[in-house]
């Protein structure tokens, strides 16, 4: 490699390193909120989202809110899900995603079935839901089955005899079970997927 090639190579490597470190930082911060369904990865999302509020307005359940200015210029006004208070209904026609003209929320292409009829796109993974057994009533000898019918995802919330169990492979983190939970404090914790990705 000649001198010019050597420096070019070094410059590319250092640019790649700094991009990776910025991306890590962005993802670490993203552990503090949960983006709407089918959001791009955080760094790409921040570049695509124009903070137009269309997804906020399109949500019929008022689950999407805007991040506050206190969180800094880079994210202020961008949309996030209020899953600690309400569940995302995973609306059949995804109004929030369809309202996004800037392609920050993007439906995956539906997969054609064997008979060539199209099937629904895969459900989005939005967050991680976990049952807090210290607070959940059946785990503490008290009767409760309030969340039993709340889960819209087949087999994501099942019952082992009298205890609710969440299957993390199927659960989308929609928060519907947390919304209906009658324990105080709520026995379903919802956290950002970025918390569990080891950034
Ligand atoms: S899927 Fe429905 S409930 Fe969930 S954020 Fe989008 S519009 Fe709101
Ligand atoms: S277990 Fe709870 S958070 Fe997970 S998909 Fe079902 S209702 Fe949604």
For ligand 1, pick from 35, 79, 90 the residue to mutate: most ligand atoms within 8 Å of CB.
90
Q: Is residue 14 part of a domain?
A: no
pLDDT at 77: 97
d(CA 35, CA 44): 12
Q: Which residue CA neighbors atom 8 of ligand 1 most closely? A: 59
101 and 161 in a single domain? The answer is no
Q: Is residue 11 part of a domain?
A: no
Show the low-confidence residues of the chain (pLDDT under 70). Answer: 1, 7, 15, 18, 196-199
pTM above 0.95, yes or no: no
pLDDT at 25: 82
Q: Which residue CA neighbors atom 5 of ligand 2 most closely? A: 171
Q: Is residue 163 part of a domain?
A: yes
pLDDT at 197: 54
The burial class, CB within 10 Å (0-12 / 13-18 / 19+), for 88 is buried
From the CA of 96, the nearest ligand is 1
If you measure from the C-alpha of residue 92 to the centroid of ligand 1, how many angstroms do you get, rounded to a whole number?
9
Which DSSP letter does residue 104 get? S
CA 168, distance to chain mean position in Å, is: 13
Structural domain count of the chain: 2
pLDDT at 2: 74
d(CA 165, CA 175): 14
Hunting for tokens 């909120």 — which residue is that?
33
Domain extent for 42: 33-109
Atom of ligand 2 nearest to the CA of 167: 1
For ligand 2, pick from 90, 122, 149, 175 the residue to mutate: most ligand atoms within 8 Å of CB.
175
d(CA 175, CA 156): 12
pLDDT at 176: 98
d(CA 27, CA 35): 12
Pocket lining for ligand 2, CB < 6 angstroms = 129, 150-151, 153, 156-157, 166, 171-177
Structure tokens of 123?
Answer: 């459900």
pLDDT at 198: 46
Q: Is residue 22 part of a domain?
A: no
pLDDT at 54: 98
96 and 131 in a single domain? The answer is no
């Amino acid at each position: 490699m000649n001198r010019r090639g050597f420096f070019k190579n070094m410059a590319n490597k250092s640019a790649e390193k700094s991009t990776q470190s910025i991306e890590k930082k962005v993802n670490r911060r993203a552990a503090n909120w949960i983006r709407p369904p089918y959001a791009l990865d955080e760094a790409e999302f921040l570049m695509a989202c124009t903070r137009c509020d269309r997804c906020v307005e399109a949500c019929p359940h008022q689950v999407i809110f805007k991040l506050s200015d206190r969180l800094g210029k880079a994210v202020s006004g961008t949309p996030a899900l209020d899953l600690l208070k309400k569940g995302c209904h995973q609306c059949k026609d995804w109004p929030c995603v369809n309202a996004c003209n800037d392609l920050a929320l993007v439906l995956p292409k539906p997969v054609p079935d064997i008979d060539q009829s199209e099937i629904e796109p895969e459900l989005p993974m939005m967050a991680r839901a976990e049952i807090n057994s210290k607070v959940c009533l059946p785990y503490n000898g008290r009767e409760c089955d309030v969340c039993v019918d709340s889960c819209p995802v087949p087999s994501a919330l099942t019952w082992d005899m009298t205890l609710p169990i969440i299957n993390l492979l199927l659960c989308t983190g929609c928060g519907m079970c947390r919304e209906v939970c009658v324990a105080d404090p709520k026995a379903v914790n919802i956290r950002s997927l970025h918390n569990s990705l080891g950034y």
